[in-house]
Amino acid sequence: SVTVRLFARARDLAGCEQLTMTLPAGATIGALREALLARHPTLEPLAPRLLAALNADYVADTQPLTPHAEVAFFPPVSGG
């Protein structure tokens, strides 16, 4: 299982801050993103821009998940 944490607008749209998801062995961040969108379609507007971090390191959708991983999804942040 994978712990998914959502931040900022992603958290607001999904209506939760954290959830646990189970994916098959060999699944990638991209597969997790797709499963997350299937479970919370309200995230669709943010989907193309959501950044992913696996165990606190930014990763691409091609990154394989590790057992008991913690993945964070959050929208890009702009500052001024």
Q: What confidence score (pLDDT) does residue 78 get?
A: 56
Classify 56 as helix, strand or coil.
coil
Confidence of residue 5 (pLDDT cuts 50, 70, 90): very high
Whether the per-residue pLDDT at 79 is higher than 80: the answer is: no
35: closest CA among 77, 67, 65, 68? 65
Q: What confidence score (pLDDT) does residue 48 get?
A: 86
pLDDT (tens digit, 9 = 90+) per residue, 21-74? Answer: 999 999 999 999 999 999 999 999 998 899 999 998 999 999 999 888 999 999
Classify 34 as helix, strand or coil.
helix
21: closest CA among 10, 34, 8? 34
Query: How much is the pTM?
Result: 0.91
